């Protein structure tokens, strides 16, 4: 069942600042392109068209004759662009979330296909325009070179935007790679909670702190305070308050995204190195997780859930696809309640520590969850001895150090520490922090 999938990444590359005369060609080009897209979107929305093929069939000829000097493929890509805009507008209108009667074509990026652009080596890009082909030099960046050097293939579709202030072109290039999943030789299990991800690797549970729900809550209350303050001074919904709130929102998003991606990359790289599969909890649609039930505000609960659970999983899934790491989902029910050794209930006290009702050994909740996810991935449900035995003998070729006498305590890693790691190898250089929560 090992699948091969295509992974796609967008990389931004900027041109050098262009001479006025050259830049003017692109301003003209953008004007024509915008005009075409506006007309097409209007037509598509009026006629309920969401498919590129139909829009092209009905309008291509007319659009072509509008600007005969323009390379014909712009009419083609404009149809694709417009069909997508019409599609998302009609969908929003259907669920009552369209604010205007017609979609506005506000920001334009010109869609390109293989006839309209090509890379000339690594340093310049040639574009077809109404004034013939124009070559622009690009500024190489690390990101771009990384994809080139790692065997990604540059796709024919691209987009270009105009940066008027700096007279540059901004290219959105697409890299693709075929990745096939390997057959896993081991498992890495990930148990996500509100403020940390517990990861079981080679018999050690690392507790990587993320603080995601604290970030969400912090920004939530900060926004509330800002809103109240500005509303008192300027009246509700004023322009300054909208600006501040937007900035806060962007900061929050960027911070969370950075945390999720960095940690996902770290976990996935460790999995790839061991040819291991990543085991995740299968999450439901509703934020039913007991940890965030206490948050009364529905929207806020949703946001905490998204940040801490769904968002984290999505980052891991996406990164895993890139490396061909298989991801396995298991039933999350009661994963932290049953002792992985004895199969009996663990009695928790006030903190995250509990005591096994049979063996009397102490457990940290996240360690329990990680081992039970492993048991389930191996085919047992945590209640049958045979699968438990398998888990402790055969996982990584050697016995997993999980006897009743072992310290069932995760190795806590603060965010400031793991954020600088490229791999777990870095652990030996630093002191891990014992968690006491
Ligand atoms: Zn036990």
User: Ligand 1 centroid to 344 CA: how many Å?
Assistant: 6
Residue span of the structural domain in which 35 resides: 16-152
Average of per-residue pLDDT across 249-270: 94
- List, as one string, the DSSP characters of 326-387: -EEEE--TTTTTB-TTT-SBEEE-SSSEEEETTT--EEEHHHHHHHHHHHHHTT--SS-HHH
Distance (angstroms) between ligand 1 centre and the Cα of 424 equals 29
Cα of 404 to ligand 1 centre, how many Å? 7
10 Å Cβ neighbour count for 188? 25
**In terms of domains, do 80 and 209 share one?**
no
Question: Is 2 contained in some domain?
Answer: no
Same domain, 148 and 222: no
pTM assigned to the model: 0.74
329 CA to middle of ligand 1, Å? 25
Give the pLDDT score at 107. Answer: 85
Residue 378 CA: distances (Å) to CA of 188, 189, 345, 410:
12, 11, 20, 22
- Does residue 5 lie in a domain region? no
Average pLDDT over residues 189-209: 91
Residue 91, domain member (yes or no): yes
For residue 341, the CA-to-ligand 1 centroid distance in Å is 5
Is there a single domain that holds both residue 144 and residue 56?
yes
Q: Do residues 382 and 326 both lie within one domain?
A: yes
Judge whether 172 lies within some domain. no
Q: What percent of the chain has pLDDT over 90?
A: 57
- 426 and 367, same structural domain? yes
Residue 386's pLDDT is what?
Answer: 41
Query: Of the candidates 109, 136, 152, which is a domain's last residue?
Result: 152
1 in any annotated domain: no
Task: Give residue-wise pLDDT tens across range 316-333.
Answer: 999 999 999 999 999 888
Into how many domains does the chain fold? 2
pLDDT at 425 over 70: no
Are residue 87 and residue 147 in the same domain, yes or no? Answer: yes
What is the Å distance from ligand 1's center to 369 Cα?
Answer: 13
Mean predicted confidence (pLDDT) in 374-396: 54
Q: Please tell me the chain's helix, strand, coil percentages from 3-state DSSP, rounded to the nearest 5.
A: 45, 25, 30
Where among 102, 135, 152 does a domain terminate?
152
Closest CA to 435 of 215, 211, 207, 213: 207
400 compared with 6, residue with greater pLDDT: 6
Question: In the prediction, which pLDDT does 59 show?
Answer: 95
Tell me, in angstroms, the distance from the centre of ligand 1 to residue 355's CA: 8
Asked if 118 and 201 sit in the same domain, the reply is no
Distance, CA 370 to ligand 1 centroid (Å)?
Answer: 15
In this predicted model, which residue has the larger pLDDT, 433 or 51?
Answer: 51
* Claim to verify: residue 122 and residue 28 sit in the same structural domain: yes
pLDDT band at 151 (very low <50, low <70, confident <90, very high): confident
Pair 122, 197 in one domain: no
Ligand 1 center to residue 432 CA distance, Å?
A: 26
The answer, yes or no, to whether residue 295 has pLDDT greater than 90, is no
- pLDDT tops 60 at residue 124: yes
Average pLDDT, the chain: 86
85 confidence band (pLDDT: 50, 70, 90) = very high
Cβ atoms of 279 and 373 closer than 8 Å: yes
Query: Which of 231-235, 276-280, 407-411 is the most confident on average?
Result: 276-280
| Per-residue pLDDT at 434 | 46
- Ligand 1 centroid – CA 333 distance (Å): 18
Q: How far is Cα 325 from Cα 317, in angstroms, rounded to an integer?
A: 9
> Which of 25-29, 94-98, 106-110, 399-403 has the lowest average pLDDT?
399-403
Task: Give which of 117, 46, 35 is closest to 81, Cα–Cα.
Answer: 35
Q: Ligand 1 center to residue 436 CA distance, Å?
A: 21
- CA 363–ligand 1 middle distance (angstroms): 8
DSSP reduced 3-state for 210:
coil
- Is residue 9, in this structure, part of any structural domain at all? no
* 211 and 94 within one domain: no
Together in a domain, 145 and 196? no
CA dihedral 194→198→199→204, nearest 10 degrees, is 170
Let me know whether 220 and 363 are in one domain: yes
CA dihedral of 413, 418, 421, 422, whole degrees rounded to 10: 100
pLDDT reading at 41 higher than 60: yes
Please check the confidence at residue 381 and state whether its pLDDT lies above 60. Answer: no
Ligand 1 centroid distance, CA of 330 (Å): 22
pLDDT of 334 strictly over 90: no
| Residue 279 CA to ligand 1 centre (angstroms) | 22
DSSP 182: P
In-domain check, residue 158: no
CA of 185 to the centre of ligand 1 (A): 27
Centre of ligand 1 from the C-alpha of residue 359, in Å: 5
Rg of the Cα atoms in the chain: 27
Sorting pLDDT into bands at 50, 70 and 90, what band is 285?
low
Q: Which of 129, 152, 175 is the last residue of a domain?
A: 152
Residue 170 located in a structural domain: no
């Amino acid at each position: 069942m090992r699948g091969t999938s295509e992974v796609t990444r967008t990389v931004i590359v900027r041109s050098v600042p262009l001479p006025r005369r050259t830049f003017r060609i692109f301003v003209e080009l953008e004007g024509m392109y915008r005009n075409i897209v506006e007309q097409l979107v209007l037509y598509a929305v009026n006629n309920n068209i969401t498919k590129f093929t139909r829009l092209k069939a009905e309008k291509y000829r007319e659009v072509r004759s509008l600007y005969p000097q323009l390379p014909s493929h712009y009419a083609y890509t404009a149809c694709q662009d417009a069909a997508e805009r019409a599609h998302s507008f009609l969908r929003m209108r259907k669920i009552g979330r369209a604010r205007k009667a017609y979609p506005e074509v506000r920001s334009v990026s010109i869609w390109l296909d293989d006839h309209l652009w090509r890379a000339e080596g690594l340093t310049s890009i040639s574009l077809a325009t109404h004034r013939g082909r124009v070559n622009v030099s690009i500024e190489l960046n690390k990101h771009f070179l990384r994809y080139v050097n790692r065997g990604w293939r540059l796709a024919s579709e691209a987009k270009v935007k105009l940066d008027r202030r700096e007279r540059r072109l901004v290219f959105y290039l697409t890299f693709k790679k075929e990745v096939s999943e390997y057959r896993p030789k081991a498992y890495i299990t990930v148990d996500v909670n509100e403020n940390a991800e517990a990861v079981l690797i080679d018999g050690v549970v690392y507790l990587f702190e993320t603080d995601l729900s604290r970030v969400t809550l912090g920004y939530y209350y900060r926004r509330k305070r800002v809103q109240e303050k500005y509303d008192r001074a300027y009246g509700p919904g004023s322009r300054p308050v909208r600006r501040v709130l937007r900035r806060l929102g962007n900061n929050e998003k960027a911070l969370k995204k950075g945390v999720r991606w960095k940690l996902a990359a770290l976990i996935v790289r460790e999995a790839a190195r061991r040819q291991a599969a990543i085991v995740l909890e299968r999450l439901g649609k509703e934020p039913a997780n007991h940890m965030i039930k206490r948050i009364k505000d529905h929207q806020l609960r949703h946001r905490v859930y998204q940040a801490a659970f769904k968002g984290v999983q999505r980052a891991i899934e996406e990164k895993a696809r890139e490396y061909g790491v298989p991801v396995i989902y298991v039933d999350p029910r009661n994963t932290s309640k049953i002792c992985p050794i004895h199969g009996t209930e663990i009695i928790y006290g006030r903190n995250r520590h509990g005591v096994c009702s049979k063996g009397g050994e102490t457990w940290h909740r996240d360690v329990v969850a990680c081992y039970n996810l492993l048991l389930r991935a191996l085919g047992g449900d945590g209640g049958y001895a045979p699968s438990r035995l398998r888990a402790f003998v055969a996982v990584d070729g050697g016995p997993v150090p999980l006897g009743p006498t072992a310290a069932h305590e995760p190795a806590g890693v603060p965010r400031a520490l793991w954020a600088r790691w490229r791999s777990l190898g870095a652990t030996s250089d630093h002191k891990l922090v014992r968690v006491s929560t």
